[in-house]
Amino acid sequence: MATDRLSEIFAALADPTRRAILARLSESDATVNELAEPFPISLPAISRHLKVLERAGLITRSRSAQWRSSSLNAEPLREATAWMERYRVFWDTNLDRLDAHLRRIQQPAANNQEPSERT
């Protein structure tokens, strides 16, 4: 993964219009005109959003200049969510250990080894 890849993906996803565009593209490919329809903003503004999404690798655009349609590319999203999933597994197992630790220190038989007081 390129050094700044995830930052670029998250930055691209940070904008509500761009998220709406992605949601629209998850239904089907669409031209700039079709994508612009639900928004009260200009075609050039939509084009700028598409450029950001394309740079982040979230969409691909067909070469044909006249009927340039965009399609969603889910792979970067998969990378982002896979990364999140690793953290979830990390915390799940980590908190299992915390649970065991809390049981251990709370057992009367464990002789309540209180760590030295901090000041």
Q: Are strands 30-31 and 69-72 parallel, antiparallel or unpaired?
A: antiparallel
Out of 37, 44, 62, 90, point to the residue binding other proteins (CB under 8 A): 90
Cα-based angle 76, 18, 7 (whole degrees, multiple of 5): 45
Relative orientation angle of helices 5-13 and 43-55, to the nearest 10 degrees:
150
- Kindly tell me which of 41 and 74 has the beta carbon lying closer to other proteins: 74
Q: How far apart are the first and last CA of the chain?
A: 45
Site track 46-85 with other proteins (rule: CB under 8 A), x = hit: --------------------------x-x--xxxxxxxxx
**What token pair was written down for 93?**
């197992």
We find the least distance from the C-beta atom of residue 7 to other proteins, in angstroms, to be: 5
Q: Please give the residues from 22 up to 51 whose contact with other proteins meets the rule CB under 8 A.
A: 22-23, 26
- Cβ atoms of 50 and 35 closer than 8 Å: yes
| 110 binds other proteins per the rule CB under 8 A | no
Residues of this chain that interact with other proteins (CB under 8 A) are: 1, 3-7, 10-11, 13-14, 16, 19-20, 22-23, 26, 72, 74, 77-95, 97-103, 105-106, 115-116, 118
